[in-house]
Amino acid sequence: MTLNEVTISRAILEEQHRALVDYLETDVAVIGGGPSGLACAALLGERGVSCALIEKKLSIGGGMWGGGMMFPRIVVQEEARRLLDRFGVTYREFEPGYYVAKSVETVAKLIAAACDAGVEFFNLTTVEDVMVRGDGRVGGLVVNWTPVGMAGLHVDPLTVACTCTVDATGHDAMIARMIERKGGNLQVKGESFMWAERAESRVIEHTKEIFPGLFVTGMAANAVAGECRMGPIFGGMLLSGERAAHLVAEKLGR
């Protein structure tokens, strides 16, 4: 077989162009490809929901890749162990109620689960703004290539319409802060001190619709609520992603 470089380029361009066009309108846009965003997207995809995951970085996985201080291991508590099982992650019990897993395997299997569920990934893509119309709800996103912002270029963005948006942008709670800055009826309190027990136990209740059409999950939920951070224990992130998927599916009637 003779390889043709133009055919290779055409395959990439045509397939990605088709994905971009197909997802200009989607049921759900999950912003942020960390553990909560991945879990949320995968579980929505399993329900047949059209879901785009937008990640500003090149790699998907958020802070989970590095485990704790670049030791590639994570801890999950008893309540979330069933989600490790659901996504096929191997782990071992370290002490009663504490389960340790490889961070790289966990990220890989979350990504694979989302892919298998039909989630479309758009990495190196930044959300610059949200669209809020006369109905007062988030109905779409303003997106651009991440390198455009990094280079300080003035390049007009494009828009994506979605019924629901999930802010899974972690500590920064970027989408919520956009609405706050533009005068939306929303306050982002910012995360509080490290307190794993409190942060993990409260993140589920903070996972909710915080503005019409906008849901928060994972550390973004705690940042909006002014709640504590938890470090490299990730059970709350997975459980929060599961909760967000349930709430969004309920909103969509799925």
Give binding residues as ranges: 36, 55-56, 63, 127, 154-156, 171, 219, 229
Q: Give the Cα separation of 11 and 17 in Å (integer).
A: 10
Cβ neighbours of residue 108 under 8 Å, at least 6 residues apart? none
Binding site for glycine, residues?
A: 229
Rounded CA separation 36/80 (Å): 12
Which residues fall in the annotated binding site for NAD(+)? 36, 55-56, 63, 127, 154-156, 219
Q: 168 near 220, Cβ under 8 Å?
A: yes
Q: List, as residue ranges, the binding site for Fe cation.
A: 156, 171
Q: How far is CA 92 from CA 117, 188, 234, 235, in A?
A: 27, 37, 15, 14
Contact 74, 83 (CB under 8 A): no
As a whole number of angstroms, the distance between CA 147 and CA 105 comes to 28
